[in-house]
């Protein structure tokens, strides 16, 4: 039996070995590249590739999120690129930027608004100060005669001295820059419109562009976009100013700790409910034996007063007094009113004047609370005396 098991084990091991050799001979090694997309730094900074390119060219490059960095930049040795949204830029900030440029700085910014002929301004404070207008290319009218012969009509061309061919940049062809005061010293055009202008400003210079998408990742690697950025500021330090979209603390908490936020909100709600001020004094605990006869009588009296009124209640008491008087003095109902009052005075010991006031018909007008209570007290005294 042991010999048979040994033989079967050897055969099984041999089969496994043959199978392994066969699979090894059939297997073909290969390499696969898995693209995980851009890094978190690249997603947060759309100009990260532009920064790396400029650093490789030997330039000092930094980026900022606000104009607070401006006092730290030496104008004669620096370039400032305003590539972010400037909708909230104040007149004071515009003046600071222009003063920095006038002292020798190089400024580049993106035109953000169209010129409005009716109002005489665009709403872009910085663009209006340098007296450059932006409009739509489609509003320029008929294209120039040589536009049809241009092999790259949508690309912006920058012509340099001693160069046979222009440099090409992919500015957005939908927008056009105008220089109504003839202040521009140089410009770059596509077949239909102008997309970049350079103006002297004091000891510095200003470059206005229709957009900065050509310097974002991955557009900066197309045409001569990267070269143009280096050409404009190759001899200065460069600071790119734009808003970097970082996730704030609340966004991170919602993403990674939603249950903790729900628990915190519940605890906060309970704490507010606990410390909240009450409206009015504390109500005393209701006694267990609260269904007393006096309470029922008071409630019934209040109900009858609201339902029947004062006149009906007084009339009922008067009838009750007369009914008891008829019971105590036979023939009472046949006597005159004056004689009845004398009989009641004799039976109750009350003066005739008090009896006349209590039993005289009352007007239906509403009595004051004090007068009503007084009448009720007189009638109850007469009824109790009978």
Q: Where are the domains of the chain?
A: 40-140+150-241, 294-385
In the chain, pLDDT over 70 holds for what percent of residues?
A: 82
Q: In what order do the strands lie in the sheet with 204-209?
A: 61-64, 237-241, 78-82, 106-110, 204-209, 194-201, 184-189, 156-158, 167-169
What confidence score (pLDDT) does residue 215 get? 93
Of the two residues 332 and 232, the one the predictor is more confident about is 232
pLDDT tens digits, 201-242:
999 999 999 999 999 988 999 999 999 999 998 888 999 988
What confidence score (pLDDT) does residue 299 get? 63
Residue 95, pLDDT above cutoff 50: yes
Residue 110's Cβ-count burial label (10 Å; 0-12, 13-18, 19+) is buried
What confidence score (pLDDT) does residue 245 get? 45
Query: Per the structure block, which two tokens stand in for 208?
Result: 């206005």
pTM reported for the whole predicted model: 0.57
Half-sphere exposure in the Cβ direction for 303 (13 Å, CA): 6
What is the CATH code of the structural domain delimited by 40-140+150-241? 3.40.50.880
């Amino acid at each position: 039996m042991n010999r048979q098991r040994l033989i079967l084990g050897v055969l099984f091991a041999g089969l496994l070995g043959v199978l392994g050799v066969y699979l090894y001979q059939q297997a073909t090694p290969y390499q696969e590249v898995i693209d995980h997309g851009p890094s978190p730094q690249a997603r947060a900074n759309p100009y990260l590739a532009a920064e790396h390119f400029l650093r490789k060219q030997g330039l000092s490059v930094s980026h900022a999120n606000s104009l607070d960095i401006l006092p730290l930049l030496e104008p004669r040795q620096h370039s400032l690129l305003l590539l972010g949204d400037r909708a909230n830029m104040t007149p004071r900030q515009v003046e600071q930027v222009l003063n920095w440029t006038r002292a020798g700085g190089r400024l580049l910014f993106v035109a953000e608004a169209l010129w409005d002929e009716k109002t005489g301004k665009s709403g872009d404070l910085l663009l209006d100060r340098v007296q450059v207008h932006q409009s739509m290319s489609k509003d320029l009218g008929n294209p120039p005669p040589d536009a049809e012969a241009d092999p790259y009509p949508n690309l912006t061309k920058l012509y340099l001295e001693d160069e046979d061919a222009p440099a090409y940049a992919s500015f957005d062809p939908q927008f056009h820059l105008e220089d109504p005061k003839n202040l521009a010293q140089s410009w770059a055009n596509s077949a239909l419109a102008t997309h970049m202008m350079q103006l002297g400003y004091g000891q510095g210079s200003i470059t206005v562009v229709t957009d900065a998408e050509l310097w974002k990742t991955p557009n900066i690697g197309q045409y001569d976009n990267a070269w143009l950025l280096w050409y404009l500021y190759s001899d200065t330090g460069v600071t790119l100013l734009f808003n970097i979209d970082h996730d704030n603390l609340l966004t991170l908490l919602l993403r990674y700790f939603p249950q903790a936020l729900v628990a915190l909100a519940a605890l906060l709600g309970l704490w507010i409910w606990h410390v909240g001020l009450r409206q009015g004094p504390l109500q005393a605990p209701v006694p267990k034996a609260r269904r007393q006869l006096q309470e029922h009588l008071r409630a019934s009296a209040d109900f009858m007063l609201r339902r029947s009124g004062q006149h009906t209640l007084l009339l009922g008491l008067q009838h009750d007094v007369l009914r008891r008087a008829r019971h105590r003095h036979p023939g009472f109902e046949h006597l005159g009113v004056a004689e009845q009052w004398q009989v009641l005075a004799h039976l109750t010991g009350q003066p005739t004047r008090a009896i006349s006031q209590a039993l005289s018909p009352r007007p239906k007008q509403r009595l004051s609370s004090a007068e009503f209570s007084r009448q009720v007290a007189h009638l109850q005294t007469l009824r109790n005396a009978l």
